[in-house]
Structure 1
């Protein structure tokens, strides 16, 4: 009888030990499972994108009377509509009338530097006023020479702009919106302007393509003469709401190719 009791006790002890081992094993597995879930959650969690605008009046949104803020505000809204994006924080430093020389100076300001350092995407328009300056200075004797001379100076300044941005932020995507011809209505007798715009765009694109995180977005085709809709503001220089919406569409098309998942992980 005693042997039976001892055997039952030993069996019970072994069974209890087995249960405890099983429970201990389960307890040990739970943290790993929770960690995996947490990691997966972090990977799939909606991201906050920091969007910064620099440049001239196009980035400022001059001419858009809808209140959307031009292409910059429209692109911001399009990004924010994506399921994997939590929100888009914005800083817009576009200034009406700015040329590349002004942008060089702007990038020395403390607030701009801080925003560039933190940016995930930088949207930029610049160059239209550089060309306009040549037009104004040579209005009675326009030919290719002054534009091509200024083009070299423009490219040097733009290269310096990119160098400054990369000094402060090597990871951000820089989206550069190319030039269009705003003089088609004002100066229809000067079709040579199209050639000038094309030359500036081609050379700028070649320079930008050397940066593997910079994107050149072509928009000159949007404002060609064969477009049926009115795309310019009443000043015949800046886009109107429709014009900006077309630019925003092209910019967002390029941005969609960006790997948003890496944001918030490299900072």
Structure 2
């Protein structure tokens, strides 16, 4: 009997440790990558904004690809994220920013990858100085359709694997076409209020999702991840549109400010 309880205790400990690693390691890894960037920044004088200012040209090409966040759904007829950011970038660099918004509402990572691999954006990618990418939300929504939440939870790893493979292929295509453009990925964010029944689940899964984006960005030259979750979260519900998912014009302005702040502070360096 004693041996049985010892075995049971060991099993429980292993389960708890396993769950703790599964839940908390992605947050730790993200923080580690962010801290490494801060350390390098303290040793590196040239930031992304400095780089854009120093380019021997009077303009900057900003290409944005992805889903409805890129398109600007929820902006209520006012400036969307891409337009708002581009205007702020103009002020920071004293250069005209030519914006090409190729957002596709409802697009999944698989669909966006297919469009990119087809060569649809080849010329825009070739000309770009800055490429902003937001995709992945529809991967989750399309998977959830017709499934209960338990099954969605079970399918998370395979869903994430498909997503990151697509994002990796998109990034590879971009780098084959343009070696020098700065690439900015957006984090996935949790728009739910803390009282929502799914808030805790989403709060646990999103770091596991986002850490893969950080790992991809850290493997690419001149690439970074915008900390979207610092802006859109349960404490900033005023930044959401009426649908409770997309940012409103205030939210897009806040995202623009966050992206600009990171570009002003992050070092313009190649990957490790």
Normalising to structure 1: TM-score of the pair? 0.73
User: Does 2:252 align with 1:244?
Assistant: yes
User: Does 2:204 align with 1:195?
Assistant: yes
User: Which of 222, 228, 238 is the matching residue for 1:230?
Assistant: 238
Residue number in structure 2 paired with 1:53: 64
C-alpha change, 1:45 and 1:159, in structure 2 (3 Å) is closer
Deviation of the 1:175 alpha carbon: 0.7
Secondary structure of 1:220's partner?
Answer: helix
Q: Which has the larger radius of gyration?
A: 1
CA distance in 1, matches of 2:55, 2:104: 37
- Structure 1, unmatched stretches of 5+, are 1-42, 261-267
Residue number in structure 2 paired with 1:100: 109
Tell me the C-alpha RMSD between the 2 structures.
Answer: 2.5
Deviation of the 1:172 alpha carbon: 0.1
C-alpha change, 1:138 and 1:91, in structure 2 (3 Å) is same
C-alpha change, 1:148 and 1:243, in structure 2 (3 Å) is same
C-alpha change, 1:92 and 1:150, in structure 2 (3 Å) is same
- Structure 2, unmatched stretches of 5+, are 1-53
C-alpha change, 1:131 and 1:186, in structure 2 (3 Å) is farther
Secondary structure of 2:96's partner?
Answer: strand
C-alpha change, 1:187 and 1:52, in structure 2 (3 Å) is farther
Deviation of the 1:86 alpha carbon: 2.7
Deviation of the 1:245 alpha carbon: 1.2
User: Any residues of structure 2 matched to 1:146-165 within 5 Å, and which?
Assistant: 146-165=155-174
CA distance in 1, matches of 2:183, 2:126: 12
User: Which of 62, 77, 81 is the matching residue for 2:91?
Assistant: 81
Q: Aligned pairs, how many? A: 215
* Structure 1 stretches of 4+ moved >3 Å: 43-46, 108-111, 139-143, 257-260
**Alpha carbons 1:134, 1:147 under 8 Å: kept:** no
Secondary structure of 1:122's partner?
Answer: strand
Deviation of the 1:72 alpha carbon: 0.6
User: Which of 123, 130, 140 is the matching residue for 1:131?
Assistant: 140
**Alpha carbons 2:194, 2:234 under 8 Å: kept:** no
User: Any residues of structure 2 matched to 1:99-118 within 5 Å, and which?
Assistant: 99-108=108-117, 110-118=119-127
Deviation track 1:39-80 (CA, whole Å, cap 9, x = no partner) reads xxxx79773101101011101111001421x21111101011
